[in-house]
């Protein structure tokens, strides 16, 4: 079933949001899209997206967000806000979506490793799970999308973007999920404009997509980089200490298996067949792989 001219609000158009926006604007189902930007933000969209409707908003003003969703008959809210806005902006967006009466589905800013169950862990991923719990608590239907590591981030994570070597912590032999940003955008545009918004494939589900299952050692070989194995706590090249810690954290998640979209944090194990289980919703699509990706 096709749902032409669905109305979608996209909160944040940055690293992943621009790819989602591009895919929505180019989709044959022609959804109507409004991009929400923080009032006063100086962020420019890439030139090919400059025709998008961009509306400045105040993420603390639930009444104004509600009025905006009503005025544009918004049916789907997609959030790609980054960490500082996970709770404040997303709770306001969710409250407004619920109050609008028009929004039928909310896609929170997950876009990474599976976070179900992370709420109890008190770590940097917990807040993503808390947002999903909030959506549940207010009775707003939601779809979480787990993607694994964005494909274009791989060279950065192993310090190979600026160096001739790849710096790998641990064995680098654990398979993990990576999906290109272009495919993430394409998948989002496809499922959110083609499926009924009441579909059990969308409502209160976690969609686990996967472009490719690969190891960091295999990535280094694809990128033609020699491998330097570093002990945990040793430096992976980065511009700042914060970046170093973040790269180390991402590599720890990869080594532990948690970056597979088949991972279940509640049981600490891979669920057989779960990685990429939502790929079937985009029938016939050929997913990009490391080396083939244009992202």
**Token code pair at residue 93:** 């967006």
The CA distance from 267 to 21, in Å, is: 35
- Which listed residue (65, 135, 149, 278) binds ligand NAP by CB under 6 A? 149
The CA distance from 158 to 238, in Å, is: 9
CA angle in degrees (0–180, nearest 5) for 161-163-167: 85
Comparing CB distances to ligand NAP, the nearer of 218 and 231 is 218
Bridge partner list, 214:
176
| The one segment of 74-82, 169-177, 272-280, 286-294 that binds ligand NAP by CB under 6 A | 74-82
Residue (of 65, 63, 62, 54) closest to 17 by Cα position: 54
What is the nearest approach in angstroms of ligand NAP to the Cβ of residue 203?
A: 21
- Which listed residue (34, 81, 220, 290) binds ligand NAP by CB under 6 A? 81
**Token code pair at residue 192:** 């959110």
- Which listed residue (8, 9, 12, 144) binds ligand NAP by CB under 6 A? 12
Q: Is 15 in the site for ligand NAP (CB under 6 A)?
A: yes
Q: Is 80 in the site for ligand NAP (CB under 6 A)?
A: yes
The CA distance from 142 to 123, in Å, is: 22
Q: Is 112 in the site for ligand NAP (CB under 6 A)?
A: yes
Q: Is 82 in the site for ligand NAP (CB under 6 A)?
A: yes
- Which listed residue (106, 142, 150, 287) binds ligand NAP by CB under 6 A? 150
18-47 residues in contact with ligand NAP (CB under 6 A) are: 37-38, 41, 43
Say how many C-beta atoms besides its own lie within 10 A of residue 271's C-beta. Answer: 15
Q: Is 206 in the site for ligand NAP (CB under 6 A)?
A: no
Residue (of 209, 201, 193) closest to 150 by Cα position: 209
Comparing CB distances to ligand NAP, the nearer of 109 and 288 is 109
Residue (of 112, 220, 240, 212) closest to 168 by Cα position: 220
Q: Is 147 in the site for ligand NAP (CB under 6 A)?
A: yes
H or E stretch covering 96: helix 88-100
Q: Which residues here bind ligand NAP, judged by CB under 6 A? A: 12-17, 37-38, 41, 43, 59, 80-82, 84-85, 89, 109, 111-112, 147, 149-150, 153
């Amino acid at each position: 079933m096709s749902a032409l001219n669905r109305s979608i609000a996209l909160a944040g158009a940055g690293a992943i949001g621009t790819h989602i926006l591009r895919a929505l604007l180019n989709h044959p189902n022609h959804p109507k899209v409004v991009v929400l930007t923080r009032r006063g933000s100086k962020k420019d969209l890439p030139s090919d997206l400059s025709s998008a409707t961009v509306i400045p908003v105040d993420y603390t003003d639930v009444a104004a967000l509600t009025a905006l969703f009503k005025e544009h008959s918004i049916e789907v809210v997609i959030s790609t806000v980054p960490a500082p806005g996970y709770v404040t902006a997303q709770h306001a967006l969710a409250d407004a979506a619920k109050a609008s009466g028009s929004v039928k589905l909310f896609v929170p800013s997950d876009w990474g490793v599976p976070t179900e169950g992370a709420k109890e862990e008190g770590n940097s991923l917990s807040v993503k799970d808390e947002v999903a719990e909030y959506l549940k608590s207010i009775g707003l239907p939601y779809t979480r999308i787990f993607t694994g590591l964005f494909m274009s981030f791989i060279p950065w994570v192993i310090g190979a973007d600026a160096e001739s070597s790849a710096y790998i912590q641990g064995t680098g032999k654990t398979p993990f999920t990576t999906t290109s940003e272009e495919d993430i955008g394409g998948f989002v545009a496809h499922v959110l404009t083609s499926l009924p918004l009441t579909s059990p494939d969308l409502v209160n589900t976690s969609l686990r997509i996967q472009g490719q299952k690969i190891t960091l050692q295999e990535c280094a070989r694809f990128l033609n980089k020699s491998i330097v194995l570093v002990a945990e706590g040793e430096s992976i090249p980065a511009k700042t200490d914060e970046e170093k810690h973040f790269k180390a954290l991402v590599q720890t998640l990869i080594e532990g298996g948690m970056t597979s979209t088949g991972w279940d944090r509640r049981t600490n194990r891979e669920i057989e067949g779960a990685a990429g289980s939502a790929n079937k919703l985009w029938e016939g699509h050929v997913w990009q792989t490391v080396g083939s990706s244009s992202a």
